[in-house]
A and B are shown apart, each in its own frame.
Chain A
Amino acid sequence: MWPLILLVLAFASSALLAQYQRKPPDFGGTYTFPTPTHPEPRASVERALDMVMLGAGLGLGAYLILKRRTRAGVVLLSIAAIAYFGFYRKGCTCPIGAIQNVTLALVDPRYLISFGVLVFFFLPLVAALLVGRVFCGAVCPHGAVQDLVLLRPKKVPERVDRVLRWLPYVYLAVVVLFAGWGLPIVAEGGKALVGRRFLICEWDPFIGLFRITGSFHMLAIGAGFIVAGMFYGRPYCRWLCPYGALLSLCSRVAWKNVSITPDKELSCGLCAESCPYDAIHDFQADRASCVACARCYDSCPRHVKLRRGQPVALKLYRRSQAGTGVS
């Protein structure tokens, strides 16, 4: 790998110093010329591991959310996601940022996009078409951070929510515009002030947290979202995340989705009260806005679990149907 980079560097520097090239002199004594060390960038094995972890996270998340229906499992998985995709990988490259890479690759054929970035962009979308926003609930470290700090969910007034719900799409449009074309503003000096920029990367609230360093504005935004996230569930996910906008479009027509009650609805509304994200309408999970956090399962009276994980109510119901009549 380094031979390639060295090729670029050597070609560049030799062009500069072509006339100054000389063989090194002999100093006498026992000196041998050291070669400068060049640490390698991430090996392709590690990049493959990222994709495997993403796929495993999505698969495991789908299993835990839709099959096992356990909130504890989802919490553990999201902590693991924060550890790996957040602190270990420092949040880069993420599917949210991949929007920009894909936009740029579609707009400019000279921009060569990396394979891993493509996987990170398309795999959660495909998963959303199949099993809903499992990515949001189980894998995305940004969502996991907000989900974990949620202390006391308050409901946002309906009118405000109705307006804020459009922000992700607006942000998506702005981000696509900047990533693909930039703004042709010409400032003083005749230089284009804003060329192509990756806005998501520059204004990401949580990346300062994962890198444990950052400029003042990034850390301030991050702290702000954490504070907001303590009281209003997942503010970034609901009202800003552009990838969430894409995921919600896909999960609207998902094949399998969160069904709160294992057997039948009681219309008690306990699930809607427990959902911090206002994603339950008509006692069903709203496929567009449900982020698969798995909180609703445990509030459903039909869903209280035994240690072996099977809902008691379901078991009893089935037994009653089979005619044993045990109560």
Chain B
Amino acid sequence: MDENETGPAPDATGDAPRERVSARWLPIASVVGAVGVVAAAVLRPGGAPPAAPSAGSPGAAPHVPPPAQPAPALPQRYARTTVVVGPGKPGEFRRSLSGLALGPHDAIYALGDDEVRVFEGAGRLARTWKVPEKATCLAVASDLRVGVGSSGRVDLYSDTGVHSGGFAAGTRDKPADVTAIRLVRDEVLVADAAARVIRRYDLRGTERGVIGDKNKTGGFMLPNRSLDFDVDRSGVVHATDTGRHQVTSWTLDGTMVASFGKFGMTKPEDFVGCCNPVNVAVVPDGSIVTAEKMVARVKVYGKDRTLLALIGPENFDPMCWHIYVAVDSTGRIVTADPERRTIAVFERS
């Protein structure tokens, strides 16, 4: 072959013309395809992600709606008089504060930092002793015995803190989730949040009965997994049925005798949020003190269950999951704030 040949070799089988043709349709097809994909990207349902990000509010404060109306004039008013235990005071709690009870002589028994601390007078730390880790609640009997509840267990102590017995609470395959405890005469009443009932035991741990299961749900409704109760002088148990926004009252043999309360975000006598009231205490004259979360406040209801007083959220930490309440013999309300780890006393003014 002539080396100066510039045209295609004669034996070419027409590859060159075919190559030229394909060189035309391929880019056209590609352009059409690319335009189609871009159009699909623009017109897709939902389209491009929203262009400008909305001014997010990155505040860490929880979403707490304020109560709609200012509290109307109520028959009673309470004001904080003393802070018995708090940061900087003797016996301050550094890590946790999870229980409150009042002794017969109005001594304050507080559970926190894996200890029980007894405060007498205006905050003088009188006694202290260690309790099991993750203890959740405590109670004081009229003879100064102390009962401490923890997961699946109850421990009993003498008035000086000597361990005098204990037993397992709940059943073997379902240990009790003990969230409240009371010592009534010769019985120990234990709130079992796992089974959603209150169990009655004697001092050795033999179960004597169950309170709260005689209703349509076979127990209390506890979305916040916590049950609190108190026992008044006549032996009636008043318990927080948080899922129903009620305080229900039962006799010791498990018969429901009363209930009051309903859900509401606007009226002060209603209970706010999804699961309230979270804590309850009885007053010697038959009134009931309740504590709520989400809007952290404490309310006093009279014997006829009308709202008598409201201690507002400015007194408590807004992140409180509980506010432990107790009433002493003179009618003063003692509250324990587990977020700020303070115990304060409110008196009628």
A and B touch in the complex (CB under 8 A): yes
For the A-B complex, the count of residue pairs with Cβ-Cβ distances under 8 Å equals 120
Within A276-308, which residues are at the interface with B (CB < 8 Å)?
298, 301, 304-307
Q: Which residue numbers of A lie inside 8 Å of B, CB to CB?
A: 19-20, 22-26, 28, 71-72, 75, 145, 148-151, 208-209, 211-216, 219, 222-223, 226, 230, 264, 266, 268, 298, 301, 304-307, 312-313, 316-317, 320, 327
Which residues of chain B come closer than 8 Å to A216, judged between CB atoms? 48, 51
A20 to B293, CA, bound (A): 13
Q: Are B41 and A151 in contact (CB under 8 A)?
A: no
B181 at the interface (CB under 8 A from A): no
Q: Are B16 and A219 in contact (CB under 8 A)?
A: no
User: In whole Å, how far is A168's beta carbon from the nearest beta carbon of chain B?
Assistant: 23
For A215, give its contact among B5, B8, B51, B321 (CB under 8 Å).
B51
Closest Cβ neighbor of A274 among chain B residues: B23
B70 at the interface (CB under 8 A from A): no
User: B256-272 CB contact bits vs A (8 Å, 1 = yes)?
Assistant: 00000000000000000
Which residues of chain B come closer than 8 Å to A148, judged between CB atoms? 26-27, 30
11 contacts between A and B (CB under 8 A): A19-B338, A20-B321, A23-B225, A24-B194, A26-B195, A150-B27, A151-B31, A214-B48, A216-B48, A226-B31, A317-B1
User: In whole Å, how far is B267's beta carbon from the nearest beta carbon of chain A?
Assistant: 28
Q: Closest 7 A-B residue pairs measured CB to CB?
A: A22-B225, A148-B30, A312-B9, A149-B30, A304-B12, A151-B27, A149-B31
User: In whole Å, how far is B99's beta carbon from the nearest beta carbon of chain A?
Assistant: 13
Q: Are B34 and A71 in contact (CB under 8 A)?
A: no
Which residues of chain A come closer than 8 Å to B194, judged between CB atoms? 22-26
Closest Cβ neighbor of B338 among chain A residues: A19
Closest Cβ neighbor of B322 among chain A residues: A19
Q: Are B321 and A214 in contact (CB under 8 A)?
A: no
For B30, give its contact among A22, A145, A211 (CB under 8 Å).
A145
For A22, give its contact among B37, B49, B226 (CB under 8 Å).
B226
Q: Are B15 and A305 in contact (CB under 8 A)?
A: yes
A45 to B174, CA, bound (A): 43
Q: Are B48 and A149 in contact (CB under 8 A)?
A: no
Which residues of chain B come closer than 8 Å to A20, judged between CB atoms? 225, 321
> How extensive is the interface on chain B, given as a class?
35 or more
Q: Are B38 and A209 in contact (CB under 8 A)?
A: yes
If A298-B16, A313-B9 touch, whether A149 touches B27 (CB-CB below 8 Å) is: yes
Q: Are B34 and A213 in contact (CB under 8 A)?
A: no
Within B6-60, which residues are at the interface with A (CB < 8 Å)?
6-9, 11-13, 15-16, 19, 22, 26-28, 30-31, 34-35, 37-38, 40-42, 44, 48-49, 51
Q: Are A312 and B11 in contact (CB under 8 A)?
A: yes
Q: Are A226 and B195 in contact (CB under 8 A)?
A: no
B222 at the interface (CB under 8 A from A): yes
Q: Are B31 and A214 in contact (CB under 8 A)?
A: no
A68 to B133, CA, bound (A): 77
B217 at the interface (CB under 8 A from A): yes
A215 to B49, CA, bound (A): 6
For A219, give its contact among B19, B26, B41, B196 (CB under 8 Å).
B41
Which residues of chain B come closer than 8 Å to A26, judged between CB atoms? 174, 194-196
Which residues of chain B come closer than 8 Å to A75, judged between CB atoms? 26
User: In whole Å, how far is A226's beta carbon from the nearest beta carbon of chain B?
Assistant: 5
A47 to B226, CA, bound (A): 47
For the A-B complex with A22-B226, A26-B174, A316-B1 known, give 11 more contacts whose Cβ atoms are closer than 8 Å.
Answer: A19-B338, A25-B196, A25-B222, A145-B30, A149-B27, A151-B27, A215-B51, A301-B9, A304-B9, A305-B12, A313-B1
B177 at the interface (CB under 8 A from A): yes
Within B46-86, which residues are at the interface with A (CB < 8 Å)?
48-49, 51
User: In whole Å, how far is A272's beta carbon from the nearest beta carbon of chain B?
Assistant: 15
For B177, give its contact among A22, A214, A264 (CB under 8 Å).
A22
A219 to B39, CA, bound (A): 9
Q: Are A327 and B41 in contact (CB under 8 A)?
A: no
Which residues of chain B come closer than 8 Å to A266, judged between CB atoms? 4, 6
A216 to B8, CA, bound (A): 49
Q: Are B8 and A307 in contact (CB under 8 A)?
A: no
User: In whole Å, how far is B89's beta carbon from the nearest beta carbon of chain A?
Assistant: 22
Q: Are A268 and B44 in contact (CB under 8 A)?
A: no
A26 to B176, CA, bound (A): 11
B96 at the interface (CB under 8 A from A): yes
If A71-B19, A209-B41 touch, whether A307 touches B222 (CB-CB below 8 Å) is: no
Which residues of chain A come closer than 8 Å to B12, judged between CB atoms? 304-306, 312
Q: Are A212 and B222 in contact (CB under 8 A)?
A: no
Which residues of chain B come closer than 8 Å to A226, judged between CB atoms? 31, 34-35, 38
Q: Are A149 and B34 in contact (CB under 8 A)?
A: yes
Which residues of chain B come closer than 8 Å to A24, judged between CB atoms? 194, 225
